[in-house]
Structure 1
Amino acid sequence: MKTMIGVIGGSGIYQIDGLEGASWVKVKTPWGAPSDQVLVGRLDGVPMAFLPRHGRGHVHSPTTVPYRANIDALKRLGVTDVIAVSACGSLREDMAPGDFVIVDQYIDRTFGREKSFFGTGCVAHVSVAHPTCPRLSSACAQAARAGGIKVHEGGTYLAMEGPQFSTLAESKLYRSWGCDVIGMTGMPEAKLAREAELCYASVAMVTDYDCWHESHGAVDVATVIATLTANSSQGRSMVSRLPGLLGTDRAPCPHGCDRALDNAIMTAPEMRDPEVLARLDAIAGRILKV
């Protein structure tokens, strides 16, 4: 199997430098239009696809991002490994603005989003006990460190609905839960990537201390953008090193991300809705044989 890297760029990451033969392509999905067209090309000989999560010009709020269409579009293009880059607030003193956190756990507090490709007509339950891929996460950490970025390997991401930032009481509560960073886009993206049998790594770029930190005050967009400017160039630097680490040839994921649906489908074959199955052609075609 050949590697194809998919990058979902969050706030501040709207392009990838050095893509050979780059072109923006329109991808149709059964879940509607993705956030934007997808930039496809090659980087150091490895196929790559880049999708701006909020769209060019930042037109989608965290709630209105078409998460299902985005993941389907990447899977439909042949992506095998997804690196999600996003801005976040820090809930820990030692995770300072400018640092990168390689997320390995989530607490999902979102409530206004479709969170699964499956449902009535074809029910499935996948495990997200370990929602990110350790192999891919390790490669992201290595790539970031090679660029001189301070990296924290492992962290719990509190996914909030937004678009408002936290209240002080909420920020203190999430710290008491042991959360490390807070953001608005990590879920349901990670859950959907698992359902799509894609290896998924989350790189959270710290822009602020949320509002819990007494000496830093409340979060505002101006503060976030100022840190994003520096973080975005570091994020692109990290991405540029990934093809060399992942290579062109890809073995099966040692953690089983690419086989997540093996025992997940609950609906009996004779009871599966053909229209639902048709929508799952890219996501679950391997297991449903559609």
Structure 2
Amino acid sequence: MRKFFGIASAVTALTFALTACGSTGTAETTAGAAGRASISEALKVGASPVPHAEILKFVKDKLAAKEGLNLEIVEFTDYVQPNVQLDDGQIGADFFQHKPYLDDFNASKGTKLSFVQPVHLEPLGLYSKKITDIAALARNATVALPNDATNLGRALKLLADNGLVTLKAGAGTAATERDVTANPKNLKFQLLEAAQLPRSLDDVDAAVVNGNYAIEAGLKPAENALVLEKAQGNPYANGLVVATGKEQDPRVVKLAKLLVSPEVKQFIERTYKGAVIPAS
């Protein structure tokens, strides 16, 4: 009886061991399958129409298939909803903003989004339909500026770099009108949503316009801007952003690599002719 019990126990133990091994193998197979499914699943990327969505479309049409990457491009015409939907999980990444804007958005909205890869710079420019030289900007002229925190600071720095205003020492990217310590021409500032700035040119003396919105409006930054932001040492490169913790999603890793590929750099240089500049 004891001998039979010992044999039965050994069989039971062997069965348990085989079952456990089988379970582990199944789990690993399932995990592997899930990983493959994740790679093949479409990555929804929110983007401003120009140039971000155009760059993504080039990647989708010319490069993504070779990498097994399935891109779905979702266009947005503002700077808020892409981050809101990314934080909510409605999209898997976005491509429209620079890191100072993202940092401010995270701080003010409580979102947890991470900057993955800088891709290009869109030089901010001062435009006007009334004058063709910055020296002709009249006293008491009205200048429209973007109303979001980081782009406002960036716009004021552009004015300061060109002698129109002086900013308080250390004001940095968070500068506001309150940081203007000297305004020789007594310029009046009108703060507007960035997307509205090109349309404001009929109503103001000049406007500082973000590069993507300038291009959408048919403006040519290299030709039409009274003054243009310099690329050297500029922290405002636009890049790929994901929800924190998703940086190593294999789809995101592949997209980040493609966005700084030689093919994309060449596309940016040929298409935008200095209005958009590769970040590296």
- TM class by smaller structure: under 0.3
Q: TM-score, normalised by structure 2?
A: 0.28
Q: TM-score, normalised by structure 1?
A: 0.27
Question: More helix by proportion, 1 or 2?
Answer: 2
